[in-house]
Structure 1
């Protein structure tokens, strides 16, 4: 049976950079690694909101990306 071992957790913050000439949203992102494995979704959101307060651009979306090693 295969197992999945958590390798890394990353926080991705996506910011609103306005719209392009066609009216489509322009987005930019920033990714932070070394997120504590025991962090709850609320803690991750609080951290993202605190970091977003340092930006001039509005925070559009917060993602938590987990990477796993799959072993046989």
Structure 2
């Protein structure tokens, strides 16, 4: 079951994220925070010079990212 009833019209990832968040009536500050973390996730995985779309990533990349946040950046769960 898809939790998003709205299909974004945009082709760009960050614009799609913004569209869905606005459709769900999230606050502007929340939208900005989500966009920050999406950018950070994509750039962190592209640090070797090869950017990939999050759609082409799997659970391993997410686990690596969350582990880095917990261990190196000391971000709270």
TM-score (norm. length: structure 2): 0.29
- What is the TM-score normalised by the length of structure 1? 0.31
By relative contact order (CA 8 Å, sep 6+), the higher-ranking structure is 1
Which structure has greater helix proportion?
2
Higher share in strand? 1
